[in-house]
Amino acid sequence: MSQELALRAAGLTDIGRRPTNEDVVLVRSDLGLYAVADGAGGHRSGEIASALAARSIENYFGATIKKTHEQPEFDRFGIPSGARRLSAAILKANRDVIEIARSTPAHKGMGTTVVAACFSPRSGLMHVGHAGDSRCYRLRGGHLELLTQDHSLLTDVLEQRPDLDDTVLERLPKSIVTRALGLDPKLRISLRSHRVVAGDRYLLCSDGLSGPVPANAIASALGAAAPPDATADALVTLAKTSTGNDNIAALVIECTGGPTGDSVPPPPLSRDADARADPELLILGIEELDSLDSSSASDDLLHALEGLMVKKP
């Protein structure tokens, strides 16, 4: 049995043991929009990048409300309109951060990770997009699940060379992200959509929380019978009392009303689009495969890291 989607949320940041706080939380329940941004860059540029990214995403959602109401929930390709809107908002924020970084010498090289979630009441879907290592967790029925995958050097290396010895992996720097707003005009956003179920609890956080606080402690805090503001405060306290030194951001979203089922309704496909579907599988760049030698992209990455990996941590 379904009921109207109802959410309550709260978030906060803490400076931790850093001289400045470069983490930002965005809570706009009226827009169904929530985000955490974790800035980086010298001369206070990190806090500017994260604040600018959050403001840009918020402004985009505010400016597209009317258009959203006029659009169907799914486009003619079966893609949720809310997911496309969230991706467009993050990419707009990326362009804004790049523009300020390029036009202001003091902010050159600034960037920010981001994880953002928006909720679509009509479909009962939650869309999450991210770039970097800020995360989104979901607690459902006592089970904690990580809904995002870090865009980090370690993740990239493991995707290409899962057979590497742990002693090699240990020498890789743990704080390098491979995607972030402000670094690349052609930024790729990782985006997923999930069915919301009554009782769900979501956590958006920076690595200042997910790094030092183990998953079982996060699950316990999210599962406690406390409102979102008290839960966010408890999570920040856990991070502060750990060995972490970073800024901390926690944003807790609770679904107090919504569908009780777990299935996602199949999106309607355009009849015209389906008729044009080609049964052949097209692999982009297949014509170049014969010219490749045994030195693949994974080997190139390892060659670039060769000097680093021979050094002691």
Task: Determine the angle formed by the axes of helices 153-160 and 297-309, rounding to 10 degrees.
Answer: 130
CATH 3.60.40.10 at 6-309, yes or no: yes
Question: Tens digit of pLDDT for each residue in 263-306?
Answer: 455 455 555 555 455 556 666 554 544 444 444 444 555 555 55
pLDDT at 47: 94
Predicted TM-score of the model (pTM): 0.84
Mean pLDDT lowest among 70-79, 214-223, 225-234, 249-258? 70-79
Question: Tens digit of pLDDT for each residue in 79-126?
Answer: 899 999 999 999 999 999 999 999 988 888 899 999 999 999 988 999
> For the chain, which residues make up each domain, given as ranges?
6-309
